[in-house]
Structure 1
Amino acid sequence: MTNAELSVAFFLQMAIIVAACRIVGWLAKRYLGQPQVVGEMIAGVILGPSLLGLLSPDLQAALFPKDSRSILFVGGQLGVGLYMFLVGLGFRRDHFQANAKSAAAVSLAGMAAPFLAAVAIAPWLVSMGLFGDGIATWQAMLFMGAAISITAFPMLARIIHERGLSGTRLGSLSLAAGAIDDA
């Protein structure tokens, strides 16, 4: 693709993505009582290879050509980076310092329980053939434990903002615990 074609593809993709996120996000909020960001994640699954690519691979390939995906990835990373910058601007250090011990305890508990559950089920998943040949059980345990116990910090921040908890003690505690998880 030429630069002009990539530019057109990028802006068309952005329009489709934003429209789908707004529509599905509104539907999730209105009819399911979920935060809008949950609907936006569902919109990503709908437009991605999991659903649109499965049902209509030609349409999915036409909307998201392989050549344009790296540019779309960079645009997405830029968006997440700018959003996290805005979250950081609103982060209250005094709330974090007052809640540091509680945040560490919440973070540790929030990581330990899912990690232990993943470690417990990993041998069964290995025996069921979920992992490829050559993957040791201990590797599967570590992978599953890490994958299940991490926090989706940007999503957490959006939910806290949408629910009006930004700047509150609970919101700050949750963000601090999520930040500790990610660190």
Structure 2
Amino acid sequence: MAVNITSIKTSSNGIWQGDDPLHFAFPLLILQTVLVLVLSRLLAFLFRPLRQPKVIAEIIAGIILGPSAIGRNQTYLHTIFPSWSTPILESVADIGLLFFLFLVGLELDLNSIRRSGRHAFSIAAAGITLPFACGVGVAFVLRSAIPGADQADYAPFLVFMGVSLSITAFPVLARILAELKLLTTRLGETAMAAAAFNDVAAWILLALAVALSGGEGTHHSPIISLWVLLSGLVFVAVQIIIIKPCMSWVARRSQDEGGESEFWISLTLAGVLISGFMTDFIGIHSIFGGFVFGLIIPKEGEFTGRLIERIEDFVSGLLLPLYFASSGLKTNVASINEEL
């Protein structure tokens, strides 16, 4: 039974009234979440002797559940992971990722990030330059080797290939460092700062590639990438100069009230969402906004600890596996052989 995406409903009236719960968004999301959690935790247990982080198990779980393995059965794929449910699953997963990067920012000390900023920038620049150059070289090879590739615009193709091979997977790095308890070490702080620089650079370069391609519905001026950079710098400056003192006041008020008021917690969580919206509005991934907002929250007192205690298990244990599994769900390994 095909489902019209314009007529998707949240919940069913129950099987006794003739409704199939798998044709409704919320019960289907519950089933998808359960499958991802059970399989990813089983794989994490099996991979433990190999000292593999949980993120590897979650990605492989997505590959197994997706079109590469079990999803080769089209009946299963269209029933459990139909195309109309993908935006819903990915939206929930992105919320989990946003709050996970907020938690990462909470655990890092902004002063330490500042102290390692110069080293991190040098590492980021060195780490992106050589792979970017290699990506451009690969683009030249592909352009001459793949039939029809020479019809693509040169500049956006070169930029896209360079970015594809030179950018650190920021969420994956954060997840691995957090699991290995290296996040708050000097090595972890430097690595996260370098990855943050790379992440911003990636979105600026992608904005440049889109602008150069002149695709339908896009602005064609390469100056857009400069606006993305300037807007990102303004966002960081506003967070440090204006929002940071405000959050220090919130932390003090919360502590004066004994930490029992949920109003300040709710206000902070709303701040995470607003920060994510603003960076997405700028043209940088929303996780960067959540990460920066977590960085500027004061680490003194009990406010940060209460925030972590209240949301960490829910985000890391339930929502975050959906994000990494969704990457596997969108991957069809068999199509690589078909293309070759």
Q: Contact (CA 8 Å) 1:131, 1:140: kept in 2 or not?
A: no
Q: Contact (CA 8 Å) 1:111, 1:181: kept in 2 or not?
A: yes
Question: 2:161 is matched with which residue?
Answer: 144
Secondary structure of 1:3's counterpart equals: coil
Q: Contact (CA 8 Å) 1:123, 1:137: kept in 2 or not?
A: no
Deviates more, 1:143-152 or 1:121-130: 121-130
Bigger Rg, structure 1 or 2 = 2
Q: Is 1:104 aligned with 2:121?
A: yes
Question: 1:170 is matched with which residue?
Answer: 187
Superposition deviation, residue 130 in structure 1: 7.5
Question: 2:42 is matched with which residue?
Answer: 23
Q: Is 1:45 aligned with 2:45?
A: no
Question: 1:8 is matched with which residue?
Answer: 27
Matches of 1:130 and 1:113, distance apart in 2: 27
Deviates more, 1:152-161 or 1:134-143: 134-143
Matches of 2:9 and 2:137, distance apart in 1: 51
Percent of pairs identical after alignment?
34
Q: Contact (CA 8 Å) 2:142, 2:149: kept in 1 or not?
A: no
Superposition deviation, residue 68 in structure 1: 1.7
Q: Contact (CA 8 Å) 2:143, 2:150: kept in 1 or not?
A: no
Amino acid at match of 2:45: W
Superposition deviation, residue 104 in structure 1: 0.3
Q: Contact (CA 8 Å) 1:107, 1:178: kept in 2 or not?
A: yes
Amino acid at match of 1:2: K
Q: Is 1:181 aligned with 2:198?
A: yes
Matches of 1:94 and 1:29, distance apart in 2: 35
Matches of 2:123 and 2:147, distance apart in 1: 31
Amino acid at match of 2:25: L
Alignment gaps of 5+ in structure 2: 1-7, 12-23, 201-340
C-alpha deviations, 1:51-95, integer Å up to 9, x for none?
A: 433x22221221112222221111011111111111111111121
Amino acid at match of 2:10: N
- Match for residue 135 of structure 2 among 80, 100, 118: 118
C-alpha deviations, 1:95-149, integer Å up to 9, x for none?
A: 1111111000111111111111111111111222287563134332211111111
Aligned length: 181
Q: Contact (CA 8 Å) 1:29, 1:39: kept in 2 or not?
A: no
Alignment gaps of 5+ in structure 1: none
Q: Contact (CA 8 Å) 2:55, 2:172: kept in 1 or not?
A: yes
The TM-score, its normalising length taken from structure 2, stands at: 0.50
The TM-score, its normalising length taken from structure 1, stands at: 0.90
Q: How does 1:72-91 map to 2 (within 5 A)?
A: 72-91=89-108
